[in-house]
Amino acid sequence: MDTFEDTARRLREAFSSGRTQPAAFRVAQLEGLSRFLQENRQLLQDALAQDLHKSAFESEISEITISQGEVDLALRNLRAWMKDQKVPKNLATQLDSAFIRKEPFGLVLIIAPWNYPLNLTLVPLVGAIAAGNCVVLKPSEISKSIEKILAEVLPRYLDQSCFAVALGGPEETARLLEHRFDYIFFTGSPHVGKIVMTAAAKHLTPVTLELGGKNPCYVDDNCDPQTVANRLAWFRYFNTGQTCVAPDYVLCSPDMQERLLPALQNAITRFYGDDPQNSPNLGRIINQKHFKRLQELLNCGRVAIGGQSDESNLYIALDLLSSDLNSGGPECGLSPHMLFLKGRTWTPDSQILGAGVLGAPTVLVDVQETDKVMQEEIFGPILPLMTVRSLDEAINFINHREKPLALYAFSNNSQVIKQVLARTSSGGFCGNDGFMHMTLASLPFGGVGASGMGSYHGKFSFDTFSHHRACLLRSPGMEKINELRYPPYSSRNLRVLLMAMEERSCSCTLL
Amino acid sequence: MKDEPASTNLLTKLDCAFTLKEPFGLVLIISPWNYPVNLTLVPLVGAIAAGNCVILKPSEKSKGTEKVLAEVLPQYLDQSCFAVVVGGSQETQKLLEHKFDYIFFTGSPHVGKIVMTAAAKHLTPITLELGGKNPCYVDDNCDPQTVANRLAWFRYFNTGQTCVAPDYVLCSPDMQERLLPALQNAITRFYGDDPQNSPNLGRVINQKHFKRLQELLNCGRVAIGGQSDESNLYIAPTVLVDVQETDKVMQEEIFGPILPLMTVKSLDEAINFINHREKPLALYAFSNNSQVVNQVLDQTSSGNFRGNDGFLYATLLSLPFGGVGKSGMGRYHGKFSFDTFSNHRACLISPSGLEKLNEIRYPPYSSQAQKLLRWAMSSHSCTLQ
């Protein structure tokens, strides 16, 4: 028996009744989200610590504050965003009322991943709600603690006739996708993105896919190695490397590599101490399945920094590519309290909570393009350095691969930065820093090519979850003016009509 | 083409933030036969303006135009960046197996699904300009002749083969009685007493569609027109009455010179009827009372909406043209075309120095730094987004 059918019907009925249309309703929902974040701050931090061993600092800035910021932005701007957008008219439509109306699509499905389980669920949710949709949320079953809170606590803050949470693994998600939605927002791997888009095609459902890839990072000779190393290291090892926009690999000259290595070691030691394993500021990799994958990656090239693999502290790499829909089976969904590995039982101590396992901040050198670490998105605390002979070679290398979600270039010379920007393509780009562009709600966040389609954040979220309906309202009279267009056609009439239809009217405003 | 600057927060005040418009790369434009020049060239303008290379696949059904597009047009463009592919549905299927960086398709919802499924294999973004049945609500409070003129022109323009043409009318029985003679009036005025010989009336594109339309003439009762002539694919400007919701003419997009009138008891019934069906590409409402027009607008959804007239809004380039639901996804015309065919790349350029400012974000994390960062990230300028 498919109980989801009932849920979908209930939500659609609420939508058809016009419940979500008024600004007041949407404001109330957004305020509910705000209270959810504020009243459950500690609970959320604990859950994030449990799932990913996120420090309070990282939870704060990459999950809670970002989500809160989006809610606040939407609350401040909702009425302005909802307003009909007037557009310039031509001579033929001078007396008409011409505008674009933003309408909700209806029933929206948001499928979220496990790496930033709060952020990547709530930020799209803000957009969907602000735009007036009813929403079904499908959080990741892999980040179990957050999943529980989203399923049990969050609904209390929202109108449950317009909002529901669906739970389950890949099988349940596949079944969910058989239903018809009016919009699907998916964050996850390209592999699963294809599955989602194919399912959406059956119902002609529009989609936004926030995917991933290997984000290149070009480091010019003309830069300060320590500054670059600080920035590289922080953005690479933040959340134990499990960030879709983290620098995935570095391209630099052999000379630069020599200067970067000690600087990276410096940064890592400064950030995580001599014994990163026991640093409270280093997170954990989410589960065992990817442990094997990451461990394998450690065999590529040569380990220049880190690379420790401790039996009692497992390095587990999580493959974002396969986790969302393909992970199944007990070994991927670890119980919060116990982990079995090779017959040994691991029980959490006070520092290492829950199921997460540690990966040492690692830097690899001497990697080949054909090595596994250069083939798949790393999604872990491993940074390969690849040497190139010139900027041109680096740009060529980048352009022969799939367009990434993010692209980075470090140089004191702004011309170099401009060149990398001008000669490559990616979802987002940052010169001389890591993924700070993500924190700016005034920039559209999204991929291109295999790294995704569509974008969101801030007003872009509202626009993504809205249908932009072109409206032209005419007065019912003045039929005489229409005489020009009716048959029997004449070339004189045609000339006059063409002139009236022309784009340029008396006002000089650009479109 | 200009970069669009973006506002910054406190953390990024010293940075340069902007959105860069980039071409996707290789764009495929598949166009239909009903406006074969317009629906090929207008997307082409957007794709070229955005800097893409383009492959055009014009419809093989509009043979005259296909030939001109394949043989004459390339002479005007740089052929290293532009190509035309010709063929039927089989060739198009094979074409869709290749990877493109963007696909722009105008056609039926049925084929739209095929295109989107093919695009999904390569994660290719798409715009689908599809179709449906465009409802037209006619209020009691209006001048029947004015409405009939407008209805008739937009219905029979291009022999009804327009994706945004009014497809069927919803009105009260009383209004229907007033509309019928007015429609006859308009048709006679536009096309004469013998429309078949009017130079101003087009023809149905081919035999397959002719037969399809001929069958639709059996639905309900012919109130005006109803004549057909297979020898020159002629179907008279026709108005049907007494149609049922289950009739074929109320099930599929008509795409021909046939206008069914369906009676409803109230505005609410009309709106309910509309909302129980797929969202159309266009929706029309005629009334002297602007409240009525606004009510229809507020209580329905569609790609586009027009009060008191037909699809001339399509010529206003400041309005986005596209569908919703089964009538399509994405939009174009004017700047919307340029934006459709561009990747909007978010860019942030930070200074390479000033590392001291970054210190607060690095581990070992401290709660003071945490508080400071939280505050800086929540900062916003006074301007609205």
CA distance B306 to chain A (A): 5
Tokens of B273: 């009827």
pLDDT in tens, B1-54: 999 999 887 777 778 999 999 999 999 999 999 999 999 999 999 999 999 999
Q: What is the mean pLDDT of residues A128-155?
A: 97
Residue B321 to residue B106: CA distance in whole angstroms: 12
Residue A205 to residue A203: CA distance in whole angstroms: 5
pLDDT confidence of residue A53: 87
Contacts with A448 from chain B: Cβ below 8 Å: 22, 24, 343, 345
Q: Please, are residues A324 and A133 in contact by the beta-carbon 8 Å criterion?
A: no
Would you call A57 and B369 a contact, using CB atoms and an 8 Å cutoff?
yes
Q: Are strands B16-23 and B4-5 parallel, antiparallel or unpaired?
A: antiparallel
pLDDT in tens, A113-125: 999 999 999 999 9
pLDDT confidence of residue B8: 83
Q: What is the mean pLDDT of residues A60-72?
A: 95
pLDDT confidence of residue B91: 95
Residues 416-455 of A with CB under 8 A from B: 417, 421, 425-433, 436-437, 439-446, 448-450, 452-455
Residue scoring higher pLDDT (A355 or A202): A202
Q: What is the mean pLDDT of residues A177-201?
A: 98
Q: Is B125 on the interface with A (CB under 8 A)?
A: yes
The verdict on whether A210 is a catalytic residue reads: yes
Q: What is the mean pLDDT of residues A102-128?
A: 98
Contacts with B19 from chain A: Cβ below 8 Å: 443-444
pLDDT confidence of residue B313: 64
- pLDDT of A286 over the 80 cut: yes
Q: Is B271 on the interface with A (CB under 8 A)?
A: no
Kindly name the residue from B142, B163, B171, B219 that is annotated as catalytic.
B163
pLDDT confidence of residue B353: 79
pLDDT in tens, A395-438: 999 999 999 999 999 999 999 999 999 999 999 999 999 887 78
The model's confidence at residue B121, banded by pLDDT at 50, 70 and 90, is: very high
Would you call A201 and B305 a contact, using CB atoms and an 8 Å cutoff?
no
pLDDT in tens, B197-226: 999 999 999 999 999 999 999 999 999 999
Q: Are strands A339-341 and A344-346 parallel, antiparallel or unpaired?
A: antiparallel
Among the listed residues B152, B149, B180, B183, the one whose alpha carbon sits nearest the alpha carbon of residue B166: B152
Q: What is the mean pLDDT of residues B223-243?
A: 96
Residue B18 to residue A162: CA distance in whole angstroms: 36
Q: Please, are residues A30 and A74 in contact by the beta-carbon 8 Å criterion?
A: yes
Residue B25 to residue A449: CA distance in whole angstroms: 10
Instruction: Locate the chain B residue with the closest alpha carbon to A103.
Output: B301
Nearest neighbour of B363 by CB, restricted to A281, A426, A458 = A281
CA distance B200 to chain A (A): 6
Contacts with B330 from chain A: Cβ below 8 Å: 206
pLDDT in tens, B150-186: 999 999 999 999 999 999 999 999 999 999 999 999 9
Q: pLDDT over 90 for what percent of chain A?
A: 72
Q: Is B339 on the interface with A (CB under 8 A)?
A: no
pLDDT in tens, B258-301: 999 999 999 999 999 999 999 999 999 999 999 999 999 999 99
The model's confidence at residue A337, banded by pLDDT at 50, 70 and 90, is: very low
Nearest neighbour of B316 by CB, restricted to A81, A98, A454 = A98
Would you call A486 and B303 a contact, using CB atoms and an 8 Å cutoff?
no
The model's confidence at residue A310, banded by pLDDT at 50, 70 and 90, is: low
Q: Are strands A97-104 and B238-241 parallel, antiparallel or unpaired?
A: unpaired
pLDDT confidence of residue B332: 97
Q: Is A278 on the interface with B (CB under 8 A)?
A: no
Residues 83-122 of A with CB under 8 A from B: 87-90, 92-93, 98, 100-101, 103, 105
Structural domains of chain A in order of their starting residue, each with its CATH number = 3-212+457-467 (3.40.605.10), 216-319+355-446 (3.40.309.10)
Q: Is B319 on the interface with A (CB under 8 A)?
A: yes
Contacts with B286 from chain A: Cβ below 8 Å: 476
Q: Is B191 on the interface with A (CB under 8 A)?
A: yes
pLDDT confidence of residue A481: 75
ipTM of the complex: 0.95
